[in-house]
Structure 1
Amino acid sequence: MKPRILVTNWVHKEVLGFLQTFGEVEANVTRVPWSREEVVVRAQHCDAMLAFMTDHVDEPFLSRCARLKVIGCALKGADNYDTEACRRHGVALSIVPDLLTVPTAELTVGLMIMLGRHLLEGDRLVRTTPFNGWRPILFGKGLDGAMVGILGMGAVGQAIAHRLRAFRCQISYADDRPLAPAKEDALCLLRSELPRLLAESDYLVLALPLSPASHHIIDADALAQMKSGALLINPARGSLVDEAAVADALERGGLGGYAADVFETEDWALPDRPAAIDARLLNHPRTVLTPHLGSAVDTIRREIAMAAARDIRRFFEGQPLHGGLVGRQPIQPVVLA
């Protein structure tokens, strides 16, 4: 009997076709996520689930989905998935650890340029007022020679640093796990402590996974330590920052701008997460906010979903999971940071 597989969000037809070669597929074919309750009701009758950022798997979810055996997550950061609950219920859990790195690094550089060079303000100006040529306005920050601090130097942090070398940035990083000296030299990196990173950076880029230790690592105290007029860039996880404190800092003028691709409201596993993005961030002229586009490259998204689908197939074939976090061990070690 073929396993029944639930796909909670839209995927490319190639991914559905692959899943259909070994399972009976029930898929969300719209671009709108199902509610949590709808996912639970559907998952109760399924053996496997291809899951995404919009899903939250915890003890109550698994208690209602006793038939579920494996969850293949089309994502890297599994902070919305309770690994211990999966272990207790005997549900295998896998992620896609490597395909998101490059597009996320690309977007990060784009956010830095958009915020530093006032591109959104310039676009609005041209669209809403008569344009009569150059004026001495909207002078901003460039990347050439800028002091860039990267908080977190895992795969994404290193990919960002690699791309910023072309802009001749002076790059420092803070991470509890230092890189090997040869890697630091290759990327032209200087390791620093967080207080110094905050005080000296023209651009502070967040590249940490979300954990209890990193939750609100950029809070009111950290923002007060930042260089006046510095720009904060968050392509990693919304709850690395206290968004209300960021809005306060923008209103006071100490923080020069905030660019984010991720938001606290997305971090479903946190019971005290805000229900919406702070309106002050939405309305402030010095913010650049994008709807979690870090991996939104068409070919990459197809490959991410396909990688998660392949792990589901491996599970039913009795093979190790490439991105396994719970259950059968991965073929190669998975690095989350």
Structure 2
Amino acid sequence: MKPKIVVTQPVHADVLCKLEAAGDVVMNPGPEPWDKQQFHQHLADADALMAFMPDRIDADVLRHAPRLKTIACALKGYDNFDLVACGKAGIAISFVPDLLTEPTAELAIGLAIAAGRHIVAGDRIVRSGRFCGWRPVLYGMGLHRSIVAVVGLGAVGKAIVDRLSGFGCASILGVDPHNPDPRTIPVSLADAVTRADYLLFAVPLTLQTRYLLDEALLAHVKPGVVIVNVGRGSVISEAAIAKGLAQGVVGAYAADVYEMEDWLLPDRPCSIDANLLQSAHTILTPHIGSAVASVRLAIEHRAADNLMQVLAGAAPRDVL
């Protein structure tokens, strides 16, 4: 009997054909995730699972998947997956480590420029019909001659530094005691918030990094700072950011990730802070860091290959 493969989001036809050659595939037509009952039903006799960002895997989920041998995640960050529970269940779990790096760094730069230069507000003015030619409005701040701090110098953080290097920044500060980058000036986060015109966060979510930027630290930021988050939502307190925006201390906030997405946190909020949604000084994108068509296809292929390697009796290339 062919193994059963559960895929929680629709994948490209080429990837689906690859998976169907390895087993019987049950695929969610998407884009909305299955509800808990549907998910558990599909897992009841599944041998392999291809998972995506909306999925949460913990011990309770695994109790409904007694045959599961492997989980191949078409994503990079693993904070929504209980690795200890997977290990205890003997499940090989893999992630795609590198393919998301470049497009996520690219988006971080795009968000920084859009926030600093009031691009969204400018677009609204033109579309409103009120634009009659140049006027002295929407003066902002550019990366050129600005002090930019990159918080988190893993793969994404270093790729952000790659891109910043061509903008003529006054200086690039690096905040990461574990991953120094010789192109940056190493500083503490407390030092960075007092000096930086831009704070760009590319930090994974761990017990140590939750609310790394909170209300207490925001009290010391350089007035008018632009803050960008492309790492994980709960690294930054959205409530604190909203308060900083309202007080005029934070100049702008741009994010591609949100606290509500950090599924394994039992006290996560169920929605984005309403004050962030209503602020005229926020740019909020729907987790599109890797949403480049060619990149997403490559990620799906890599995850499918990891899954098939386990079904063939081998260790997956990207096993964690």
> Offset at 1:85?
0.3
Q: Does 1:312 align with 2:301?
A: no
Structure 1 residue 30: Cα displacement: 2.9
**How far 1:127 sits from its partner (Å)?**
1.0
Aligned mates of 2:220, 2:11 — CA distance in 1: 43
Match of 1:176 in 2: 177
**Number of the residue aligned with 1:82:** 82
Is the CA contact 2:214–2:236 (under 8 Å) kept in the aligned structure 1?
yes
- In the other structure, the counterpart of 2:262 is 267
Displacement, 1:54? 0.4
- Letter in structure 2 aligned against 1:198: V
SS in 2 for 1:268: coil
1:251-302 Cα distance to aligned partner (Å, 9 max, x none) = 1111111000000000000010001001110010000000000000001001
Contact 1:178/1:191 (CA < 8 Å) preserved in 2? no
Residue 322 of structure 1 corresponds to 317
Matches of 1:254 and 1:189, distance apart in 2: 25
Q: CA deviation at 1:29?
A: 2.1
Aligned alpha-carbon RMSD (Å): 1.0
Distance 2:106 2:251 in 1: 22
Cα 1:309–1:178 change in 2 (3 A) is closer
Which letter maps to 1:172? L
For 1:162 and 1:11, the matched residues in 2 are separated by: 31
TM-score, normalization by structure 2: 0.98
Deviations 1:41-98, CA, capped at 9 Å, x for gaps: 2111211010001000001000111111110000000100000000111111100001
Q: Secondary structure at the match of 1:256?
A: strand
Q: TM-score, normalised by structure 1?
A: 0.93
Matched letter for residue 272 of structure 2: I
| Structure 2 portions without partners, runs of 5+ | none
Partner of 1:246: 241
Q: Helix, strand or coil for the counterpart of 1:228?
A: coil
Separation (CA, whole Å) in 2 of partners of 1:268 and 1:222? 25
Distance 1:229 1:302, change over 3 A: same
Distance (whole Å) between structure 2 residues aligned to residue 35 and residue 54 of structure 1: 11
Give the partner amino acid of 1:19: L
Match of 1:29 in 2: 29
Q: Which secondary structure does the structure 2 equivalent of 1:131 belong to?
A: coil
Aligned residues with identical type, % of pairs = 45
Structure 1 Cα separation of the partners of residues 38 and 240 of structure 2: 35
Query: Match for residue 152 of structure 1?
Result: 152
**Cross-structure match for 2:60:** 60
**Residue ranges of structure 1 left out of the alignment (5+ in a row):** 326-337
Distance 1:317 1:11 in 2: 21
Q: Which residue of 1 aligns with 2:125?
A: 125
Counterpart residue identity of residue 176, structure 1? P
How far apart, CA to CA, are the structure 1 residues paired with 2:82 and 2:147?
Answer: 38
Who is 1:214 aligned against? 209
Partner SS state of residue 219, structure 2: helix
Which position in structure 2 is the counterpart of 1:335? none
Corresponding pairs, count:
319
Which residue of structure 1 aligns with residue 186 of structure 2? 191
| Residues 291-331 of structure 1: per-residue CA shift (max 9 Å, x gap) | 00000000100111111110011101222212112xxxxxx
Query: Any idea what SS the aligned residue of 1:72 has?
Result: strand
